[in-house]
Amino acid sequence: MTYTFDEQQYLQDLQTLIAFDTSRIPAEGDAPFGKPTLDALNTFLKLAAGYGFKTKNVDNYCGYAECGSGEKMVALLSHLDVVPAGDPAAWRTPPFKLTVQDDFMYGRGTVDDKGPLVLALHVLKALKDSGTKLHKRVRLIVGCGEETGSQCMQHYTKVEELPQYAITPDADYPGIIGEKGMLRLRFHKKLSGQGPTLIMNVGTVINAVPGEAEATVNGKKYTAIGRAAHGAMPEKGDNALLKLCRTLSQEYHHEFLDLMQLMTKTGLNIDLADAQSVLTLAPSLATVTATEAEAKCDIRFPVSMHYADILARVEKAVAPTGFEIEVLRANEPLRIPADSAFARGLLATYQKCTGDTKSKQSIIGGGTYAKFLPHTMAFGILFPGEEATEHMANECWSLKSMRKNFPILVEAVKTLDTL
């Protein structure tokens, strides 16, 4: 069967959504993640309704577009929110304008996750327009707060129908059968007032390595330049906060700097790994005034471990500094049996569409919506060896990869329909 894909319309729809800065801001009235994100959600729902889908805004937390009929429902999950773009000077193109150059689409959200979201919409449109007979309804569920804790999907699970099976095109092929556990911590303390006056405000979101940092000590300004990266892959970045604190520690003694000297896997006694993956640590946010200090970090730990054990190690290591620890988020790891019909079916779909029988389903440090709904797997969108640019300046996704994704996601929906 032939499935029609209008690439120009895809790019037009993507530009419409890229134009919204959907990084989270404080709730505004009836907009739990800020008005720009709610406007983007309603714009998406209007686009979907224009293509003939049944749509619903779920209390401004999320929404969906649905087609087909049947008692049971399967789903694709995606998100409209993005991490902040950061310094515009670090971008070669405007972050909130879709720019196509040299076969790449540039803009915040092109790969995480507006590009895949719009592609999923066009996949459902192609299935609907082709007259493909499916046994189940297909729903594209769109959240607004994935990057900051997924309260959107937690709300969805409380008030809406759960899919029988679902995929989220928000990671890698040929599929993710495990997601590391997540522990996000806040360290805070009222300062004694002894020592120099350190003023600092570094970082944008907890799940991104800061690419720049600035502080003043007794009125003298210090800066550090690094490279931003996803908090799940801190090794791809260069943490400007840690660089700045190392520099300051060579000249000054300060309670906050004592804490930051411990902010390594060795310092916190969490340099851990199992046979499948390693623990990662990303100190990402810091605020210091004359009277108090706080830092926040993002920890991703292997699927064989538990967050309580990781937390106990951190608490013991930090105790001598006097900083209190608050748990902001704690998620146990996700495991999907590789021999399940679900995992095997999606792997077979990928292999059939690509001819790649060597690549294996994997475990990632990134957290997706798969942690919040049963029978859900991150599937796509990046191919083995493809560069990941999410959470970075100059975020991009290649047109070649996008085009290659289209038939795979079409077949993946058909696979879900048969499970």
pLDDT of residue 276: 86
Q: Are residues 186 and 319 in the same domain?
A: yes
pLDDT of residue 336: 94
Q: How far, CA to CA in Å, does 128 sit from each of 13, 68, 118, 318, 386? A: 18, 8, 15, 56, 30
Q: Which one of 285, 304, 330 terminates a domain?
A: 330
The answer to whether the beta carbons of residues 419 and 341 sit under 8 Å apart is: yes
φ/ψ of 307, rounded to 5, equals: -65, -30
Over its length of 419 residues, how does the chain's per-residue pLDDT go in tens digits?
789 999 999 999 999 999 999 999 999 999 999 999 999 999 999 999 999 999 999 999 999 999 999 999 999 999 999 999 988 999 999 999 999 999 999 999 999 999 999 999 999 999 999 999 999 999 999 999 999 989 999 999 999 999 999 999 999 999 999 999 999 999 999 999 888 999 999 998 898 999 999 999 999 999 999 999 889 899 999 999 999 999 999 999 999 999 999 999 999 999 999 988 899 999 999 999 999 999 999 999 999 999 999 999 999 999 999 999 999 999 999 999 999 999 999 999 999 999 999 999 999 988 899 999 999 999 999 999 999 999 889 999 999 999 999 999 999 999 999 99
Q: Are residues 124 and 44 in the same domain?
A: yes
Residue 399 lies in a domain: yes
Residue 155 lies in a domain: yes
Using CA atoms, how far apart are residues 417 and 413, in angstroms rounded to an integer?
Answer: 6
The answer to whether the beta carbons of residues 22 and 144 sit under 8 Å apart is: yes
Q: Are residues 72 and 139 in the same domain?
A: yes
- Whose tokens are 């607004």? That residue is 144
Q: Are residues 40 and 67 in the same domain?
A: yes
Q: Are residues 126 and 228 in the same domain?
A: no
Residue 1 lies in a domain: no
Q: Which one of 273, 303, 330 terminates a domain?
A: 330
Give me the sheet containing 198-202, strands edge to edge. 220-225, 212-217, 198-202, 280-288, 292-301, 181-190, 324-331
Q: Are residues 26 and 96 in the same domain?
A: yes
Q: Which one of 330, 363, 397 terminates a domain?
A: 330
Residue 2 lies in a domain: no
| Tally of domains within the chain | 2
Using CA atoms, how far apart are residues 345 and 205, in angstroms rounded to an integer?
Answer: 36
12 membership: H or E segment, kind and range: helix 7-18
pLDDT of residue 217: 97
Peptide bond before 298: cis, by omega within 30 degrees of 0?
A: no
CA Rg value for the chain:
22
Q: Are residues 234 and 292 in the same domain?
A: yes
Residue 57 lies in a domain: yes
Q: Are residues 162 and 18 in the same domain?
A: yes
Q: Are residues 89 and 234 in the same domain?
A: no
In total, the chain counts a number of residues equal to: 419
Count of Cβ atoms closer than 10 Å to residue 318 Cβ: 22
Q: Are residues 24 and 102 in the same domain?
A: yes
Range of the domain at 59: 7-179+334-418
Here the tokens at position 325 are 């620890």
Dump pLDDT digits (tens) for 131-173.
999 999 999 999 999 999 899 999 999 999 999 999 999 999 9
Q: Are residues 87 and 21 in the same domain?
A: yes
Residue 414 lies in a domain: yes
pTM, entire model = 0.85
Using CA atoms, how far apart are residues 12 and 123, in angstroms rounded to an integer?
Answer: 15
Q: Are residues 321 and 362 in the same domain?
A: no
- Whose tokens are 């500094």? That residue is 321
Which CATH number do you get for residue 372? 3.40.630.10
**Distance, C-alpha 81 to centroid of its chain:** 9
